């Protein structure tokens, strides 16, 4: 029986969405306590307290000494559908860091799918280990078996430290995996779609600030020209925007600058440039007290996850400074849209349509932020939470 090889602890609590003292309670659609996405975690808290703080439904600890597998699968919310989220492989300093990361990431997946209008819940998995040294076929296939045992409640995909080949191994054990190569029926590389979503988000912000959404003549700094960044540079240059690029990889910087006619700038000078838009496409937390003070642009919109160092503090600072911030999880949903499309039976046309909807989703966030004089991140959280709350009520009737 499958359960025989399932030496894991399952911590299950009822599906009570974010109803804790530190987060939001759904009372009515209009009446919210200010919703902030990420509660502060107290590492000394018990695991159950941490789950309550984040509002998680279920967390599965996967252990297999034979393959060296140590993984955590976190299912945050399944009101809208199965929890879909990538599997990250990372050499965490300790298990507490791994748990915190998976709780944080899975919760943000709930919001990302909700605001993108997808019928998906939020989940994420982390495998503790060095992806360059510790990854083996057996470890990944064993991990696939743990996913299989969740019977479709959790569906995984690629994340930091994993790649489409790894998903192929997981797929040998379970169907509940997306982002496999096109050659075996998957949706292939999601990064052009992710870049298109960011591009639509940028356009929505430009429309809000300038009255039309043309990027011709606008100046944009793209920080990080990796998979998403380079595709974004292409879209921006195709619309005749002036593009500055920065990356710690000097060789790549030179290549991309030449290929698209962009201007390469050093990493430490980007906040001195007088540009219209800053597009962070490298790391999180680049928007903080120091950089906001220096920032000259009127729009921040990029792919990097968790761009605000502190959502509450820096979201508010941007509001007060009059800088339009497109919340990252709203505009970087192209990757998850690609996976959703694969789940539904991949269609390029449908994927593009769903991704283009990011324009309207961003406009809605900006409108709510303006109407209620709240930061855009709070506005986005409210919209995502309202959709989950509404659909929960719909599903309560047989
Ligand atoms: P990537 O690793 O391909 O590219 C990141 C680039 O940033 C690299 O070229 C790296 O050299 C550069 N970089 C790192 N530190 C930097 C720094 N301090 N200054 C300038 N450049 C720096 O990653 P990616 O897939 O393009 O993703 C970029 C960001 O978008 C990440 O934060 C990722 O989590 C997020 N994101 C990606 C996807 C996706 O589909 N790939 C989807 C949603 C969000």
Whether residues 242 and 315 fall in one domain: yes
Can you tell me which atom of ligand 1 is nearest the CA of 328? 44
Under DSSP, the state recorded for 63 is: E
pLDDT at 16: 30
Under DSSP, the state recorded for 308 is: B
Answer yes or no: is 185 within a domain.
no
Answer yes or no: is 279 within a domain.
yes
Whether residues 207 and 338 fall in one domain: yes
Q: How confident is the model at residue 253 (pLDDT cuts 50, 70, 90)?
A: very high
Residues touching ligand 1 (Cβ under 6 Å) are 190-191, 194, 223-229, 246-249, 252, 267, 281-283, 303-305, 332, 335
pLDDT at 37: 60
Which of 13-17, 220-224, 299-303 has the lowest average pLDDT?
A: 13-17
Domain that holds residue 267: 191-378
Total domains present in the chain: 2
Whether residues 290 and 141 fall in one domain: no
Pick the closest to residue 69 from 145, 12, 16 (CA basis). Answer: 145
Whether residues 349 and 323 fall in one domain: yes
Answer yes or no: is 397 within a domain.
no
| CATH number of the domain within which 157 lies | 3.40.50.10860
pLDDT at 221: 98
335 CA from centroid of ligand 1 (Å): 13
pLDDT tens digit string along 85-115?
999 999 999 999 899 989 989 999 999 999 9
Whether residues 223 and 255 fall in one domain: yes
pLDDT tens digit string along 32-79?
333 456 676 677 788 888 888 888 999 999 999 999 999 999 999 999
Answer yes or no: is 274 within a domain.
yes
Q: Show which residues are catalytic.
A: 124
The strand pairing partners of 299, in sequence order, are 277, 324
pLDDT at 182: 85
Whether residues 225 and 268 fall in one domain: yes
* CA separation, residue 37 to residues 77, 134, 156, 164, 327 (Å): 14, 32, 22, 29, 11
pLDDT tens digit string along 109-155?
999 999 999 999 999 999 999 999 999 999 999 999 999 999 999 99
Separation of alpha carbons 78 and 108, rounded Å: 13
* CA separation, residue 348 to residues 190, 193, 338, 356, 390 (Å): 11, 10, 9, 12, 29
347 CA from centroid of ligand 1 (Å): 26
User: Phi/psi of residue 103, each to 5°?
Assistant: -65, -45
Whether residues 273 and 150 fall in one domain: no
pLDDT tens digit string along 161-173?
899 899 999 999 9
Round the average pLDDT of the chain to a whole number and report it: 89
Can you tell me which atom of ligand 1 is nearest the CA of 338? 40
Is 10's pLDDT higher than 50? no
Answer yes or no: is 383 within a domain.
no
Whether residues 229 and 366 fall in one domain: yes
Whether residues 151 and 260 fall in one domain: no
pTM (2 d.p.): 0.87
Separation of alpha carbons 190 and 19, rounded Å: 34
Can you tell me which atom of ligand 1 is nearest the CA of 332? 43
Concatenated DSSP letters of 215-267: -TT-EEEEE--SHHHHHHHHHHHHTT-EEEEE-S-HHHHHHHHHHHT-EE--G
Q: Which residue has the tokens 């879209």?
A: 235
363 CA from centroid of ligand 1 (Å): 25
287 CA from centroid of ligand 1 (Å): 15
Answer yes or no: is 398 within a domain.
no
| Protein residue whose Cα sits closest to atom 4 of ligand 1 | 226
pLDDT at 44: 79
Q: How far apart are the first and last CA of the chain?
A: 33
Whether residues 339 and 223 fall in one domain: yes
Whether residues 25 and 134 fall in one domain: yes
Whether residues 141 and 200 fall in one domain: no
pLDDT at 376: 97
| CATH number of the domain within which 268 lies | 3.40.50.720
Answer yes or no: is 386 within a domain.
no
Answer yes or no: is 391 within a domain.
no
């Amino acid at each position: 029986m499958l359960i025989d090889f399932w030496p894991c602890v399952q911590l299950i609590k009822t599906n009570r969405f974010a109803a804790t003292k530190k987060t939001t309670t759904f009372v009515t659609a209009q009446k919210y306590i200010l919703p902030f996405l990420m509660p502060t975690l107290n590492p000394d808290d018990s695991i159950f307290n941490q789950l309550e703080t984040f509002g998680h439904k279920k967390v599965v600890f996967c252990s297999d000494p034979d393959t060296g597998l140590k993984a955590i699968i976190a299912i945050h919310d399944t009101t809208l559908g199965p929890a879909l989220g990538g599997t990250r492989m990372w050499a965490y300093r300790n298990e507490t860091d791994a748990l915190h990361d998976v709780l944080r990431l899975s919760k943000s997946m709930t919001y990302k799918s909700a605001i993108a209008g997808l019928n998906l819940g939020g989940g994420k998995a982390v495998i503790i280990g060095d992806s360059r040294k510790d990854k083996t076929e057996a470890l990944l296939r064993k991990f696939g078996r743990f996913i299989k045992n969740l019977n479709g409640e959790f569906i995984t995909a690629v994340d930091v430290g994993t790649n489409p080949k790894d998903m192929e191994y997981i797929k040998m054990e379970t169907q509940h995996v997306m982002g496999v190569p096109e050659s075996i029926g998957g949706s292939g590389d999601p990064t052009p779609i992710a870049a298109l979503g960011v591009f639509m988000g940028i356009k929505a912000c430009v429309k809000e600030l300038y009255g039309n959404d043309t990027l011709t003549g606008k100046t944009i700094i793209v920080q990080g020209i990796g998979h998403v960044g380079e595709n974004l540079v292409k879209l921006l240059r195709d619309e005749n925007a002036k593009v500055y690029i920065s990356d710690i990889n000097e060789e790549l910087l030179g290549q991309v600058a030449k290929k698209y006619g962009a201007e390469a700038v050093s990493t430490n000078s980007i906040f001195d440039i007088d540009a219209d838009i800053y597009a962070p496409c490298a790391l999180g937390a680049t928007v903080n007290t120091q950089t906001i003070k220096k920032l000259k642009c009127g729009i921040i919109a990029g792919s990097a996850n968790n761009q605000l160092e502190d959502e509450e503090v820096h979201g508010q600072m941007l509001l007060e400074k009059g800088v339009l911030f497109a919340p990252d999880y709203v505009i970087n949903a192209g990757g998850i849209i690609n996976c959703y499309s694969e789940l539904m039976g991949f269609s390029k046309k449908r994927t593009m349509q769903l991704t283009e909807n990011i324009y309207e989703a961003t406009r809605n966030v900006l409108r709510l932020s303006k109407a209620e004089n709240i930061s855009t991140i709070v506005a986005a959280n409210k919209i995502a939470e309202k959709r989950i709350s509404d659909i929960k009520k719909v599903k309560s009737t047989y």
